[in-house]
Amino acid sequence: MKKQKTDQSHSKLTRRQLLKLGTVSCVAASFGGLGLERAFRPLPANAQPKPLEEKILTSACLNNCGSSCVLKPVVADGKVIRIETDNAIPDNWEEGLFQIRACPRGRSMRRQMYAENRLKKPMKQFGKRGDPSGFKPIPWDQALDEIAASLKKCIDTYGNESILSIYASGVQTGMMQRREAFYRLMNLLGGFALGRSDYSSAQNQAGLTYLYGQAGYSGNPVTEIANTKLAVFFGLNTTETRMSGGGLQFEILKAKQISNARLIVIDPRYSETCVTVADEWIPIRPGTDAALASALAYVLITENMLDNEFLKTHVQGFDADTMPEGAPENSAYKDYIMGTGYDKIAKTPEWAAQITGIPVARIIQLAREIGGAKPCFISQGWGLQRQAAGEMSTMSVAALATVTGNVGIHGGGNGDRDAYYPGFSPRLPRGDNKVSITFPTFLWLRAVENGKGMTATRDGVKGADKYPTDIKFIWNYAGNTLVNQHSDINETRRILGDKSKCEMIVVMDTHDTASAQWADILLPSTSYLEQTDIVGPSYAMNIDWLGFTTPVTPYEQSRPVYEVCVELAKRLGVEKEFTEGKTREQWLEWSYETQCRPFMPELPPTLEEARKVGVWRKAKLRSDLPIPFKAFRDDPQANPLKTPSGKIELFSPALLELSKTWELNKFKGDVIPPTPQYVSTWEGYEDTETKKLFPLQLIGHHYKGRTHSHYASVDWLLAVMPQNLWINPIDAKARGLRHGDTVKVLNKRGEVHIKVKVTKRIMPGVVSMPQGAWYNPESKNLDQNKNPIDQGGCVNTLTLYRASPLAKGNPQHTNLVEVVKL
Ligand SMILES: Nc1nc2c(c(=O)[nH]1)N[C@H]1C(S)=C(S)[C@@H](COP(=O)(O)OP(=O)(O)OC[C@H]3O[C@@H](n4cnc5c(=O)[nH]c(N)nc54)[C@H](O)[C@@H]3O)O[C@H]1N2
Ligand SMILES: Nc1nc2c(c(=O)[nH]1)N[C@H]1C(S)=C(S)[C@@H](COP(=O)(O)OP(=O)(O)OC[C@H]3O[C@@H](n4cnc5c(=O)[nH]c(N)nc54)[C@H](O)[C@@H]3O)O[C@H]1N2
Ligand code: SF4
Ligand SMILES: [Mo]
């Protein structure tokens, strides 16, 4: 009834009125299932709907939000006229089956597909790199010839190490449209450079590998909230970052209904997760979670609320009794906490309150709540590790879970981000990469600037003491990290603008993004909806499913990446090896037989039959989801961890060794302590020197209006989820700002003009510019010494390109800025 009412009332409104109303409808759509298409479809007054022959296809939204939701494009006259989503079955969480239901972003895909900024033809830059007026269309054959010639020249002259496939997460699943096509091609040609780790969780992966012996996603699945008393989320914002119908936010809602557990979110912002599932929000200053976790440990130790038995049997380095042979005196975790360690500072709640901004009484009470709840589900998102000393933040939260003995038990959690069990998703075989020397992915721009100068002990090069060459060729397929998503856009522009460094940049995208503008050759890509494929789950959903997609007519001259790689393979003499004589359809049949059916034996005998149903799913009982670390918990001798000691290492001799042998920066905070500690860093809360000019901490949360930069220019989404700077009323008042005012946000690296959202949903002293908005320089001034003002609200105009000490990861939430009224 309610839905119908909304639809009818909307259909009487003008488009402008509809857009104004949008906020309500869109938020409702994301949680209530009311389709955006239906909520927004503008019907001109008195229009008689034309009877069109409609066909409903199966496809999926493959962007990097981790859900790969099912999209059902409704096609008429060869064009998508509407997008529906999965409604094939009712949600049945208890039996492990549910809809893979799209959010408003996926449902607005039609607006993106047919948008004006969609790339139509191959283009070549005839002017200076980065100059949008220098692009002219060229035929596909010419584009492919030039790319192949440049690849060959760079391989012959500088070696395979000079060819970089840059970090790009725009196509997350889909057998034929993943990055694998280019990997496969390059591996047949002798290999290529592919950065290690990623932009999502580099500090988390590096830090927890030393503590737990394994990287990332090692916490309990969120379904375990059904078995807990208390859930504590450190910067975990599932409602916004896992927002599909069957995704993790849905799991949390369900699990919490069962246990009625209390849920506390610790975040500088009152996030969407606070709005939807939290019982309490504890605001914290960015980059200070390690201080909070340390003070919580202090209270737990002094009030004797630890799991002492667990600490004795499963942990190295908690106190003097569990330290390894030869370790320096007074360097156990407990020494650091109690003030007998190197700095002689007790990590009291009073100490932490100054740093975190959380009142003393609240820290003490939180410690008692965590210590008293048996079990306690402790988990973290990645916002706190995308910081200058992010490794320490991530490890300190894990240390808290360790000292309270919550590791490896039902309803507990080891403090890491939640494990997920999405089964299998098919891939094209990529072959072996003969380039064995690697560098951390975030340092790709250093490798362009001076790859030969990069070393193992300073830059984290692996496989050799030094990187052998500079990067000379960049392949950027389905990514915007070349410019928009990397740090310090003005520095990036300067380095990319120098053609004596990188000789060829190829961008293959669907849209004319900030990165596309820095291409030498720009290739128009088909979108997810325009290719036949087999798709499957990514990382945000605990269900096994496979989708057999049917394509919409490709847009203009766009082509799929697989076919582009076949053409390149032809030109480079490896076509036979690349295709193995198979067409796209034959590859899909191969995958169906050798990958899909063995995984899901209930699939019908032929791909054709599977396509008739479209989406196949397999029930996964919540109670069957494994508890990470359970075997270790039950018997640590028989099932040791992959750390050198086989135990959880609250003191790591390996980190101590690194701190002596690595060449670290001299900037404040560039240290590698052997135990989880709070480290005060450059551009952190305690950087009083920089704060004289730039007093506000700036983060850039991942936003519901888009996935990074993907969907960022869709008119419907922008209307209801505009880009603005979150600022607390106290900070706004001090600057004479009112909600909706335009401001400049600036620091030494750049300036952004943007409207403010004055809200108590962000703590004083902190501002957030949601990451992913499209960089839009006011002038296309290519003068390398001038930094154009960004009118697009892209936070990377202001971020610093400086890697974190251990992971060499991206600290893109560590920034200081000032906000001034325009
Ligand atoms: N809608 C949407 N969903 C997405 C994405 C997207 O862009 N949009 N991106 C996807 C990808 S690739 C990834 S990697 C994930 C990202 O997932 P996350 O990295 O977890 O997302 P963030 O928004 O960076 O951070 C999560 C929360 O941490 C808070 N935070 C920031 N700094 C700190 C801190 O120092 N301490 C604490 N306690 N909290 C802090 C932020 O305010 C935010 O609410 O999301 C995925 N899902
Ligand atoms: N300041 C700051 N910066 C960040 C982050 C942050 O928290 N703060 N987060 C970081 C993280 S976690 C990540 S994962 C990265 C993400 O950075 P990217 O991997 O660059 O992700 P997107 O910005 O979504 O870019 C995806 C691109 O794919 C294109 N695309 C979409 N569909 C298709 C298709 O079918 N074919 C082709 N060829 N292209 C397509 C889109 O147009 C878009 O240009 O950003 C990082 N950058
Ligand atoms: S953006 Fe993510 S949650 Fe939304 S439809 Fe696409 S895959 Fe699903
Ligand atoms: Mo990410």
The preferred substitution site among 702, 706, 771 for testing ligand 1, maximizing ligand atoms within 8 Å of CB, is 702
Residue finishing a domain among 30, 51, 72: 51
Co-location of 402 and 485 in the same domain:
no
Predicted pLDDT at 35: 42
Q: Does residue 232 belong to any structural domain of this protein?
A: yes
The preferred substitution site among 204, 237, 356, 704 for testing ligand 1, maximizing ligand atoms within 8 Å of CB, is 237
Give the pLDDT mean for 189-202: 98
Co-location of 712 and 742 in the same domain:
yes
Co-location of 800 and 724 in the same domain:
yes
> Separation of 786 CA from ligand 4 center, angstroms?
30
Q: What DSSP designation does 594 have?
A: I
Residues spanned by the domain of 701: 688-821
* Greater model confidence, 723 or 539: 723
- What does the mean pLDDT of the chain come to? 93
| Chain segment 90-118, per-residue pLDDT in tens | 998 888 899 999 999 999 999 999 999 99
Structural domain count of the chain? 4
Angle between helices 561-571 and 584-591 (to 10 degrees): 120
Give the pLDDT mean for 491-517: 97
Q: Which residues surround ligand 4, an ion (CB under 5 A)?
A: 200
| Chain segment 358-386, per-residue pLDDT in tens | 999 999 999 999 999 999 999 999 999 99
> Separation of 806 CA from ligand 4 center, angstroms?
19
Q: What DSSP designation does 47 have?
A: P
Residue 41 banded pLDDT, cuts 50, 70, 90: low
The preferred substitution site among 36, 37, 69 for testing ligand 3, maximizing ligand atoms within 8 Å of CB, is 69
**What's the pTM value of the predicted model, to 2 decimals?**
0.94
Q: Identify whether the C-beta of residue 23 lies closer than 8 Å to the C-beta of residue 720.
A: yes
Predicted pLDDT at 193: 98
CA proximity to 60, closest of 184, 180, 183, 177: 177
Nearest CA to ligand 2 atom 10: 199
Give the pLDDT mean for 80-84: 96
> Separation of 699 CA from ligand 1 center, angstroms?
10
How many other CB atoms are there within 10 angstroms of residue 23's CB atom? 13
Co-location of 155 and 239 in the same domain:
no
Establish whether residue 404 lines the binding site of ligand 3, counting it when its CB lies within 6 angstroms of any ligand atom.
no
> Separation of 693 CA from ligand 1 center, angstroms?
27
Backbone dihedral angles phi then psi of residue 562, each to the nearest 5 degrees: -60, -50
Co-location of 359 and 469 in the same domain:
no
Co-location of 190 and 222 in the same domain:
no
The preferred substitution site among 103, 248, 716 for testing ligand 3, maximizing ligand atoms within 8 Å of CB, is 103
- Ligand index nearest the alpha carbon of residue 385: 1
- 455: which strand partners? 466
Whether 716 shows a pLDDT value over 70: the answer reads yes
The CATH number of the domain holding residue 599 is 3.40.50.740
Whether 463 shows a pLDDT value over 90: the answer reads yes
Co-location of 515 and 414 in the same domain:
no
Q: Does residue 548 belong to any structural domain of this protein?
A: no
- Ligand 2 lining (C-beta closer than 6 Å): 64, 168-171, 199-200, 386, 477-481, 484-485, 508-511, 513, 525, 527-528, 700, 702, 707-710, 771-772, 795-796, 799, 812
Co-location of 567 and 648 in the same domain:
no
Predicted pLDDT at 449: 98
Q: Identify whether the C-beta of residue 214 lies closer than 8 Å to the C-beta of residue 204.
A: no
| Chain segment 546-594, per-residue pLDDT in tens | 999 999 999 999 999 999 999 999 999 999 999 999 999 999 999 999 9
| Chain segment 626-635, per-residue pLDDT in tens | 999 999 999 9
* Greater model confidence, 41 or 294: 294
Q: Identify whether the C-beta of residue 151 lies closer than 8 Å to the C-beta of residue 568.
A: yes
Co-location of 373 and 316 in the same domain:
yes
Angle, CA of 742, 746 and 750, to the nearest 5°: 115
